[in-house]
């Protein structure tokens, strides 16, 4: 399974955002409200890549508008970024979830490898059109999707890495850090948040 047949050859982010709604490249579309494409500055020097939209994002149709998004907004600001100047997106464009037993509540689940690989053409299209010089990976799913399955955020977070990304490949600086949702789950949120900001400051310095 792959999203490739649904990704138009275009330099228009608006066309891509419209086209993703018709994507049937994996089974996730069946139970979600809508696909959630990236958002931000069209020619952003920095692209921030997370795992997937959550419940709030699925309903709103916009990336990073839930609780983790609020943490990210604050962390980007504290690191010296203007959210309006970056491109925010996810590796997977549909919400992967399971139903809580006896409830309508939708519980996040990590997308499977098949779903991640199937959705990759959308991310490659964003990389091709936005052409960022720096990519920030939020969490293991994003980092491993772009840097390989052996990459460990716990070992290399906050490190400036050069990688060949996109299709066709292009040399891009990459910084990996934790997903802001990890801050919300942490027993020591203050410390976890400070570490996230420190990683983002490395990215901000690299962005120039």
Q: Which range of residues forms the domain containing residue 134?
A: 4-207
Q: Could you give the CA distance from residue 206 to residue 208 in angstroms, rounded to a whole number?
A: 5
Mean pLDDT of 46-70: 97
Cα distances from 154 to residues 41, 67, 86, 105, 178, in angstroms, run 30, 23, 24, 31, 8
Q: How many residues does the chain have?
A: 208
pLDDT tops 90 at residue 18: yes
**Beta-bridge partners for 170:** 165
- Residue 193 pLDDT grade (very low, low, confident, very high; cuts 50, 70, 90): very high
For residue 3, the model assigns a pLDDT of 97
For residue 34, the model assigns a pLDDT of 98
The CATH number of whichever domain residue 194 belongs to comes to 3.40.470.10
- Residue 179 pLDDT grade (very low, low, confident, very high; cuts 50, 70, 90): very high
Give the total number of structural domains in the chain: 1
- Residue 103 pLDDT grade (very low, low, confident, very high; cuts 50, 70, 90): confident
pLDDT tops 80 at residue 197: yes
Q: What is the pLDDT of residues 136-178, one digit of tens each?
A: 999 999 999 999 999 999 999 999 999 999 998 999 999 999 9
For residue 104, the model assigns a pLDDT of 80
Q: What is the pLDDT of residues 75-98, one digit of tens each?
A: 999 999 998 899 999 999 999 998
Whole-structure pTM value: 0.96
């Amino acid at each position: 399974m792959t999203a490739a047949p649904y990704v138009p050859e275009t330099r228009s982010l608006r066309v891509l955002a419209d086209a993703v709604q018709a994507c049937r490249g994996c089974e996730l579309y069946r139970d979600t409200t809508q696909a959630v494409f990236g958002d931000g500055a069209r020619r952003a020097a920095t692209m921030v890549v997370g795992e997937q939209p959550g419940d709030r994002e699925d309903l709103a149709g916009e990336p990073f508008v839930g609780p983790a998004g609020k943490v990210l907004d604050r962390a980007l600001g504290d690191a010296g970024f203007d959210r309006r100047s970056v491109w925010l997106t996810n590796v997977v464009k549909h919400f992967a979830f399971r139903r809580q037993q006896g409830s309508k509540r939708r519980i996040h689940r990590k997308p499977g490898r098949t779903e991640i690989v199937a959705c990759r053409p959308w991310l490659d299209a964003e990389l091709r059109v936005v052409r960022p010089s720096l990519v920030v990976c939020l969490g293991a799913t994003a980092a491993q999707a772009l840097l390989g399955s052996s990459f460990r955020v716990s070992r290399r977070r906050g490190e400036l890495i050069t990688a060949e990304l996109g299709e066709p490949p292009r040399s891009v600086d990459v910084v990996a850090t934790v997903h802001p949702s990890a801050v919300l789950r942490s027993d020591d949120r203050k410390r976890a948040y400070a570490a996230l900001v420190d990683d983002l400051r490395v990215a901000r310095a690299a962005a120039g």
